[in-house]
């Protein structure tokens, strides 16, 4: 889905206002409603509102992608251990500052054949408010750390928090990255119960799904252990985003 429905919605509101000579309150209502739709488009990557992102794979076979954000961390080796045991490759979207903190773990991710994606240098909480130049700086600085630490380049980029807007879109295009999203969000950094996280993932799983998790806690590790058993039992294979 592209942004055309939102444009049509805006045009409908405009025609409605002029046709019926609406009052100030109708103007205000339409403005607030349209603003809400734009915000929705900013935070929901599946809408492809500002930029077309890869959110699932078109496939007829039972395969999914395991992706992990915000690492590497002190917990990442446990994730790598279980993935190695099961002979499964995943995609890790890494933060530059975390790579600097755990360079050996980052190198291990590469050595064990997993795909790597850029997740900005600092993963700023103000990502949605940064200028285009600052976003470019965030992306390029992470690229530089990856090249220096692991001698690796990547064209994959995942926006922190899944936030997109015109500035972020320009930065992605100018750095020649491919925006990568998901269609199964675990919410493993929000939900405290690992069983609820597991159910959330498995009930929404489809052929070609891209699963968003984080290699940042024991809780998420427990979910991964159960999820790998589920994938094995249901005869799902895995693919990496690259």
Catalytic residues, by residue number, are: 69, 214
Q: Where are the alpha helices (DSSP H) in 126-236?
A: 132-150, 166-174, 194-203, 218-233
φ and ψ of 238, to 5 deg: -130, 155
Following CA atoms 164, 170, 171, 172 in sequence, which dihedral angle do they give, to the nearest 10 degrees?
70
HSE (side-chain half, CA atoms, 13 Å) at 181: 21
Q: Which two tokens stand for residue 11?
A: 């045009």
Q: Which two tokens stand for residue 162?
A: 């899944």
Q: Please tell me the distance from the alpha carbon of residue 128 to that of residue 46, in angstroms, as a whole number.
A: 17
Q: Please tell me the distance from the alpha carbon of residue 120 to that of residue 127, in angstroms, as a whole number.
A: 10
Single out the residue of 202, 215, 119 nearest to residue 168, CA to CA: 119
Strand partners, 115: 91
13-23 in b/e form (b: 16+ CB < 10 A) is: beeebeeeeee
Q: Please tell me the distance from the alpha carbon of residue 52 to that of residue 49, in angstroms, as a whole number.
A: 7
HSE (side-chain half, CA atoms, 13 Å) at 40: 10
């Amino acid at each position: 889905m592209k942004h055309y429905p939102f444009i049509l919605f805006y045009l409908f509101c405009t025609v409605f206002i002029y046709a019926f000579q609406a009052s100030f309150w109708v103007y205000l209502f339409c403005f607030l409603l349209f603003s809400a739709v734009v915000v929705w488009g900013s935070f929901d990557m599946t809408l492809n509102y500002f930029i077309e992102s890869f959110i699932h794979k078109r496939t007829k076979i039972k395969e999914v992608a395991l992706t992990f954000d915000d690492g590497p961390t002190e917990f990442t080796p446990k994730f790598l251990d279980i993935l190695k045991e099961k002979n499964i490759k995943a995609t890790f979207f890494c933060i530059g500052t975390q790579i600097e903190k755990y360079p050996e773990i980052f190198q291990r991710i590469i050595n064990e054949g997993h795909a790597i994606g850029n997740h900005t240098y600092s993963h700023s909480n103000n990502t949605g408010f940064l200028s285009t130049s600052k976003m470019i700086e965030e992306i390029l600085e992470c690229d530089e750390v990856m090249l220096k630490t692991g001698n690796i380049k990547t064209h994959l980029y995942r926006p922190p928090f899944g936030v997109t807007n015109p500035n972020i879109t320009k930065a992605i295009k100018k750095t020649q990255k491919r925006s990568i999203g998901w269609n199964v969000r675990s919410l493993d950094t929000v939900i405290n119960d690992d069983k609820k996280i597991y159910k959330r993932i498995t009930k929404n799983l489809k052929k070609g799904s891209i699963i968003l998790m984080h290699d940042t806690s024991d809780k998420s590790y427990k979910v991964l252990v159960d999820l790998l058993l589920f994938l094995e039992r249901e005869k799902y294979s895995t693919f990496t985003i690259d």
